[in-house]
Amino acid sequence: DDQISALSKHASKIRLDDVKDGQERDKDKADRATSEQVLDQRTRMILYQMINRGAVSEVHGAISTGKEANVYGAVAYPDIHGPPVQRAVKVYKTAILSFKDRERYITGEHRFKSGADKGNNRKMVKLWAEKEFRNLRRIHSAGIACPEPIQLKLHVLVMDFLGDRKGWAYPRLRDATIPADDAEQIWMHLYIQLLGIMRRMYQVCKLVHADLSEYNILYNDKQLYIIDVSQSVEHDHPRSLEFLRMDIKNTGDFFRRQGVDTLSDRTVFDFITI
């Protein structure tokens, strides 16, 4: 059929190793510790459509399997004669999930006023993916280092891959290896860099990350990259300043543990908001 011909036309593939249907899953459930990364039929169809349109050409194994989403490595050929580029595909989970946690980000968010149907999981994940896509676009346009959003379809988001040429994703700041002989200076540099990012995000993007920590920042070569922005809120959200204080505390605590002589949370709050 036309999906198949589209596949062969672009000489593209989804590695079925990584993208199995339910039947295959049952078959090797026992020897597969990572069965959670299995994609459902709808998600597979979306990936095939994306392959059709060239956003991705190959989808590889999972970089991360989380509670709410899986992230897969992927490759695309944006220019047919050019080199391949690496991409990341974030697939929000439609099942299993409890969205209770997330309610506080939605209530009061004017971008959610229409379409938020808390009883409909599919609609909800689509909204989260949409929110992440738009937030990434805004953050990326403001010149803040983050994955560039490439394409969105329902609960599947394609973005820039943050990693090296061999396909290794940059580590989370939490897992970053900082050269010991220069550590003090680098941590200070990163702290100041993050304050600048948070201020820019607030003042230019009009956003508060709302889940900012060493887990949602990637690190490479003295550069921080902001990720995971589906829950980020507009600064006029009724609880945005509460979320901002939480972001300041979490990141401040982390840098204090690295031995950085940080500013007080209060001072940082003023720096960001004034």
Q: Which residues here bind Mn ion, judged by CB under 5 A?
A: 216, 228
* Interactions with ligand ADP, residue window 235-264 (CB under 6 A): none
* Structure-block tokens of residue 69: 């989403």
Catalytic-residue membership of 228:
yes
From 24, 253, 211, 227, select the one nearest 140 (Cα to Cα): 227
Q: Is 63 in the site for ligand ADP (CB under 6 A)?
A: yes
The entry of ligand ADP, Mn ion, none near residue 115 (CB within 5 to 8 angstroms by kind) is none
* Structure-block tokens of residue 163: 């990693």
Cα–Cα dist 216/135, whole Å: 14
Q: Is 64 in the site for ligand ADP (CB under 6 A)?
A: yes
- Answer for which of 71, 89, 157, 208 binds ligand ADP (CB under 6 A) is 71
Nearer to ligand ADP, 55 or 269 (CB): 55
- Answer for which of 47, 127, 140, 147 binds ligand ADP (CB under 6 A) is 147
Rounding to the nearest 10 degrees, give the CA dihedral for residues 63, 66, 70, 71: -40
Catalytic-residue membership of 175:
no
Minimum CB–partner distance for residue 167 and ligand ADP (Å): 10
Nearer to Mn ion, 42 or 67 (CB): 67
Task: Give the Cβ contact number of residue 133 at 10 Å.
Answer: 21
From 92, 94, 116, select the one nearest 105 (Cα to Cα): 116
Report whether 242 contacts 217 (CB < 8 A).
no
Instruction: Give me the catalytic one of 2, 17, 181, 228.
Output: 228
Q: Is 66 in the site for ligand ADP (CB under 6 A)?
A: yes
Per DSSP bridges, beta strands 58-65 and 13-14 are parallel
- Give catalytic residue positions: 211, 228
